[in-house]
Amino acid sequence: MQTEKHLLREYLNFLIVERGLSPHTVSAYESDISTFLGFHGRSFQLELIAAHDLEAFVASQRATGLSESSIARRVVAIRNFIAFVSKEQGVLNPLQDFKPPRPSRRLPKALKIEEVEAIIAAAGRGDDLMSIRNTALIEVLYGTGARISEVVSLDVSDITKMSGADVVSLKVRGKGGKDRVIPIGKFAQSAIDQYVVRVRPSLVKKDEKALFLNQRGTRLTRQSMWKIVSDCAQAAHIDHEISPHSLRHSFATHLLDGGADIRTVQELLGHSSVITTQIYTLVTIDKLRENYASAHPRAR
């Protein structure tokens, strides 16, 4: 009988080779499934798994204060793993009828345009190398709506001029190995130019391809990018938590508020389905309601 570690290793290899998932996503799957296997306790036997095991696991996760969206993600990872093992062993999936908890539909927290401008201004207050780099980083995050993992993966060669136009674009590597090209505006272009010309040459180590570098001349990490954004938000005196994903939310919301088509926003964000993008329209509808309530004489 295969051990749970062996089965998990086989499944993770399947995610990498067959489904082409990123190392970050595979690591998240591994963590979620390992948490369940640890909770399950006894040596893993497919025939002993039942729906009530997953129900008990969900209850235990809620007791820790984990968000409903995170719990739902863990349940999906576990169900997919059990389905894989069932198929490999040629047996009935014991969780095929389990209904996962539905996460509450939370509206993304979008920043005000003034808050984004304040964060960018805070990043560029100095004329030192790191200030110039940080300004370029935040301009790219907000100017493209790219995921932090996609910005981390950018190489210098991913900056291109679009054919027949005076528009610079970035090629980003999205989920599932899908590339997409995102045009960037003049502010982000200028910030990247400043960084590439004035800063990167003095940081880069030989043969390093990464666009954004740390002080050691190697690729900036996700953790470092997160800290840069958080520190700049604090310096801008923004009193609620800001992350790189906040800039992605704001990118989508501000585009829709400005009249962009939802299909365009879908393509720019790299969503495989427009349904995923539609949550941002709820923010826009909220704004419409506020404007209606404050402006229409018969609204009050």
What are 12's two structure tokens?
């993770």
Q: Pick the catalytic residue from 180, 219, 222, 245.
A: 245
Name every residue whose Cβ is closer than 8 Å to that of residue 206 and which is 6 or more positions away in sequence. Answer: none
Among residues 133, 248, 249, 254, the one annotated as catalytic is: 248
Active site residue 280: yes
Token couple for 147: 């995921």
Cβ pair 92, 86 in contact under 8 A: yes
- Residue 9 known to be catalytic: no
Tokens of 221: 């990490």
Catalytic residue among 24, 79, 171, 271: 271
* Contact present, 109 and 121 (Cβ < 8 Å): no
- At 245 the three-state DSSP class reads helix
Axis crossing angle, helix 222-235 with helix 244-257, rounded to the nearest 10: 70
Sheet holding 159-161, edge to edge: 159-161, 168-173, 179-184
Q: For residue 156, which of 95, 219, 249, 110 has the smallest C-alpha distance?
A: 219
154 touches 160 (CB < 8 A): no
Concerning whether 271 is annotated as a catalytic residue, the answer is: yes
**Torsion sign across C-alpha atoms 177, 224, 229, 121:** negative
- One of 24, 175, 219, 287 is an active-site residue; which one? 175
- Is 254 one of the annotated active-site residues of the chain? no
Residue 248 falls in the annotated catalytic set: yes
Residue type, 133: R
Of 40, 74, 133, 147, the catalytic one is: 147
Q: Is the dihedral of CA 230, 112, 141, 281 positive or negative?
A: positive
* Catalytic residue set: 147, 175, 245, 248, 271, 280
